């Protein structure tokens, strides 16, 4: 016995750590016929770890106060090393986590993994889902954008339907509205809950290992040759799955990071203005649809909570003794019908309640929601109990080693819930070509400098860029001396030796503040309108750069006859409502470029939008460059794991 073995033995005799790992991870007997749908449990575990890690590192930089939260998130995005990566990893991670967990649950539903003796295993899983929902909701509040604020308001108000509801809601808020105390406690709990999830996950695993995994046939293992050790067979299979998952996750982080987000959340929270169309994150949409479909407030809230609570009773609602849908000819159809119903509910939740689907015989969204809500509950309360009584199942195989099953095919359902604009009379936004578009796009440096010149000479009269610092302009190609000169043209407030507030020239580390000291001053100077800060404007509006471009180039002198343009307003078909306070900002000859050219309005609009896109996403080029490396890495990793898996599994197949 060598000395390492001796040390291991010494430790193991006192603390059976190594035996535990050996028993539960290495030798752990696992059914040999698990298909790829069984990959999602380990993927969920890995996602949880990555979410906790990225969350802890983000928490080191985040400021949980209503004054600082929004800016601190932008500070993370722009100044913290790899801050944009941590945030996009975390934000898209929430989405990935729910996709994984929902697939994991549908798998359990299809193969009857909740049936005896795995009832508690399933119920612990439902507890995890509840905790995840609470965690995700509170996390979404933290960036303190418009959706954060109004999401928090709407969800906390759900509790007002209960007895003493008013007091409960005020207790949740720590005040009379969602405010600083609410944000602080949500941050504290958002940090705590993931660790509660870890605790329940451990219980979930203990329950799992008690009777081992269910399997696609849903029958118990009877002989030793039905099982194989977890390692290396399922470790390598899980690694292969992880590689594929990494590719998908990385695609969203590096090439489409705001795909699942809402533009409105890049607008700082405003307690006095509710966004026109508020929606929760996609993973809550089916439940949100149930809430809205029911015209009675109390009943709506109860049904929404009930839609999740009912999962606790699933093991007893399903009266069939046969686990796997493979042998249940009727249940199989009901299962897929239920899956489709959940998708339709999500679709309903994404559209406003008064939406009418003209393509489907003028079906109203409300009716569709009510119909699908009824079907949702009917699946659990009618279909499952009755199927067990009336359904005749196919003969079950005697053992796992007997049957030859059809190979299951992975169907990756990519969620493409349409991001619809509310059906106002806004013309659809024309698509322009942008240098920074697409996976290979980069900012054109000349356009950026021209765009900045337009910002300085035109936009800066009313709009600030407070998330951008002068030193960031180095990315436009300016050198240190030029940046210093640019900064010195602006003034910042400071206090002198005697405590008086004085103005001094800005330095490169100052942010590009707007011309007004506060919102009131800005409104007073602009006929009551508030010129928004432009730092995030291309991320904060549906349509992004195309919308800003369309807005800048579409001031029409003669509005349609039926529109009465108010005093001091200007007609612009792309602005919601058609009337905008901003005067037409660009006109021929307003700017002369350094090369002597006098650009057209369209050219100026293009340049300034390119500049604003940079101001909103300065990390874009670095992000894409890194994205390619990560995708190539995961492709290699997945390929290697695939071949290794094939080789390791060759023994089992024969």
Which residues belong to the active site? 209, 213, 237-238, 281
SS3 label, residue 363? strand
Structure tokens at 373: 């809500």
User: What is the C-alpha to C-alpha distance for residues 591 and 605, in angstroms, rounded to an integer?
Assistant: 12
Minimum distance from CB of 222 to other proteins (Å)? 25
60 touching other proteins, by CB under 8 A: yes
Residue with structure tokens 């509790």? 159
Instruction: Kindly tell me the burial class for residue 357, based on how many C-beta atoms sit within 10 Å of its own C-beta (0-12, 13-18, 19 or more).
Output: middle
Residue pair 320/328 in contact (Cβ under 8 Å)? The answer is yes
Q: Looking at beta carbons only, is 332 or 484 nearer to other proteins? A: 484
Structure tokens at 213: 């995994």
Q: Looking at beta carbons only, is 242 or 303 nearer to other proteins? A: 242
Minimum distance from CB of 344 to other proteins (Å)? 38
Residues numbered 430-469 forming contacts with other proteins, rule: CB under 8 A: 469
Residues numbered 197-236 forming contacts with other proteins, rule: CB under 8 A: none
Helix (H) or strand (E) holding 87: helix 83-110
Cis preceding-peptide flag for 140 (omega within 30 of 0): no
641 touching other proteins, by CB under 8 A: yes
Residue pair 243/638 in contact (Cβ under 8 Å)? The answer is yes
81 touching other proteins, by CB under 8 A: yes
Minimum distance from CB of 228 to other proteins (Å)? 15
Kindly tell me which residue out of 28, 38, 57, 254 binds other proteins, with binding defined by CB under 8 A.
Answer: 57
Minimum distance from CB of 235 to other proteins (Å)? 11
Piece in contact with other proteins (CB under 8 A), picked from 50-58, 128-136, 291-299, 554-562: 50-58
Minimum distance from CB of 654 to other proteins (Å)? 15
Strands (E) located in 199-246: 227-229
By C-alpha distance, which of 496, 497, 479 is closest to 487?
A: 479
Q: What is the total residue count of the chain?
A: 654
What contacts 97, CB < 8 A, 6 or more positions away?
Answer: 44, 47, 48, 51, 132, 136
Contact track, other proteins, 2-41, x by CB under 8 A: ---x--x---x-----xx--x---xx--------------
Strands (E) located in 139-190: none
Q: Looking at beta carbons only, is 523 or 623 nearer to other proteins? A: 623
Kindly tell me which residue out of 359, 481, 498, 562 binds other proteins, with binding defined by CB under 8 A.
Answer: 481
508 touching other proteins, by CB under 8 A: yes
Kindly tell me which residue out of 73, 85, 96, 591 binds other proteins, with binding defined by CB under 8 A.
Answer: 85
Q: Looking at beta carbons only, is 22 or 220 nearer to other proteins? A: 22
Residue pair 319/249 in contact (Cβ under 8 Å)? The answer is no
Piece in contact with other proteins (CB under 8 A), picked from 92-100, 322-330, 366-374, 636-644: 636-644
- Binding-site residue total for other proteins (CB under 8 A)? 40
Q: Looking at beta carbons only, is 1 or 409 nearer to other proteins? A: 1
Q: Looking at beta carbons only, is 189 or 648 nearer to other proteins? A: 648
What contacts 59, CB < 8 A, 6 or more positions away?
Answer: 187, 191
Kindly tell me which residue out of 80, 133, 196, 475 binds other proteins, with binding defined by CB under 8 A.
Answer: 80
Count of other CB atoms within 10 angstroms of residue 227:
17
Residue pair 526/462 in contact (Cβ under 8 Å)? The answer is yes
Q: Looking at beta carbons only, is 79 or 167 nearer to other proteins? A: 79
Instruction: Kindly tell me the burial class for residue 81, based on how many C-beta atoms sit within 10 Å of its own C-beta (0-12, 13-18, 19 or more).
Output: exposed
User: What is the C-alpha to C-alpha distance for residues 551 and 557, in angstroms, rounded to an integer?
Assistant: 14
Site for other proteins, rule CB under 8 A: 5, 8, 12, 18-19, 22, 26-27, 53-54, 57, 60-61, 75, 78-83, 85-86, 239, 469, 471, 480-481, 483-484, 508-509, 633, 636-637, 640-641, 643-644, 647-648
């Amino acid at each position: 016995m060598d000395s390492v073995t001796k040390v291991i033995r010494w430790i193991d005799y006192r603390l059976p750590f190594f035996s535990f790992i050996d028993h539960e991870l290495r030798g752990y007997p696992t059914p040999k016929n698990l298909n790829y749908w069984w990959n999602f449990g380990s993927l969920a575990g890995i996602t949880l770890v990555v979410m906790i890690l990225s969350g802890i590192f983000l928490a080191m930089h985040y400021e949980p106060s209503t004054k600082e939260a929004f800016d601190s998130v932008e500070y993370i995005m722009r100044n913290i090393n790899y801050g944009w990566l941590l945030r996009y990893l975390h934000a898209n991670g929430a989405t990935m986590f729910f996709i994984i967990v929902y697939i994991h649950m549908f798998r359990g539903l299809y193969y009857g993994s909740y049936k005896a003796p795995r009832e508690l295993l399933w119920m612990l899983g439902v507890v995890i889902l509840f905790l995840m929902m609470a965690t995700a909701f509170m996390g979404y509040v933290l960036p303190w954008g418009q959706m954060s604020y109004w999401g928090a308001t709407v969800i906390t108000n759900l509790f007002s339907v209960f007895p003493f509801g008013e007091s409960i809601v005020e207790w949740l808020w720590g005040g009379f509205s969602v405010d600083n105390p609410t944000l602080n406690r949500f941050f504290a709990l958002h940090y705590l809950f993931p660790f509660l999830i870890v605790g329940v996950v451990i219980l979930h695993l203990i329950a799992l290992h008690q009777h081992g995994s269910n399997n696609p046939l849903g029958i118990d293992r009877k002989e030793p040759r039905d099982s194989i050790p977890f390692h290396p067979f399922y470790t390598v299979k899980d690694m292969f799955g992880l590689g594929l998952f990494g590719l998908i996750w990385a695609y969203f982080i590096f090439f489409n990071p705001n795909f699942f987000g809402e533009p409105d959340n890049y607008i700082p929270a405003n307690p006095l203005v509710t966004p026109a169309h508020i929606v929760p994150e996609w993973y809550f949409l089916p439940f949100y649809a149930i809430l809205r479909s029911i015209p009675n407030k109390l009943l709506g809230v109860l049904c929404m909570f009930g839609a999740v609570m009912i999962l606790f009773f699933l093991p007893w609602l399903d009266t069939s003794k046969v686990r796997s849908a493979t042998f249940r000819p009727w249940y199989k159809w009901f299962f897929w019908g239920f899956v489709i119903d959940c998708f339709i509910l999500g679709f309903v939740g994404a559209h406003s309640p008064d939406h009418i689907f003209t393509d489907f015989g003028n079906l109203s969204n409300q009716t569709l929601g009510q119909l699908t809500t009824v079907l949702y509950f009917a699946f659990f309360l009618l279909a499952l109990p009755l199927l067990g009584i009336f359904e005749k199942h196919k003969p079950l195989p005697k053992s796992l080693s007997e049957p030859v099953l059809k190979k299951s095919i992975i169907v990756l359902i990519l969620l493409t819930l349409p991001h619809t604009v509310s059906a106002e009379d806004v013309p659809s936004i024309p698509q322009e070509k942008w240098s920074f578009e697409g996976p290979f796009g980069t900012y054109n440096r000349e356009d950026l400098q021209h765009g900045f010149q337009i910002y300085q000479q035109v936009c800066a009269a009313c709009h600030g860029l407070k998330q951008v610092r002068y030193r960031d302009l180095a990315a436009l190609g300016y050198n240190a001396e030029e940046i210093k000169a640019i900064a010195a043209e602006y003034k910042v407030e400071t206090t002198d030796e005697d405590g008086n507030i004085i103005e001094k020239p800005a330095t490169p580390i100052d942010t590009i503040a707007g011309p007004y000291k506060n919102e009131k001053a800005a409104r007073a100077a602009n006929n009551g309108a508030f010129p928004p800060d432009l730092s995030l404007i291309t991320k904060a509006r549906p349509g992004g750069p195309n919308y800003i471009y369309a807005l800048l180039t579409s001031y029409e002198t003669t509005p349609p006859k039926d529109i009465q343009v108010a005093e001091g307003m200007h007609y612009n078909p792309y602005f919601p409502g058609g009337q905008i306070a901003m005067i037409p900002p660009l006109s021929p000859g307003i700017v002369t470029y350094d090369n002597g050219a006098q650009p057209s309005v369209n050219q100026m609009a293009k340049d300034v939008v390119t500049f604003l896109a940079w101001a909103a996403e300065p990390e874009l080029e670095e992000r894409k460059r890194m994205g390619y490396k990560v995708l190539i890495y995961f492709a290699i990793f997945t390929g290697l794991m695939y071949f290794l898996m094939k080789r390791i599994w060759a023994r089992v197949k024969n």
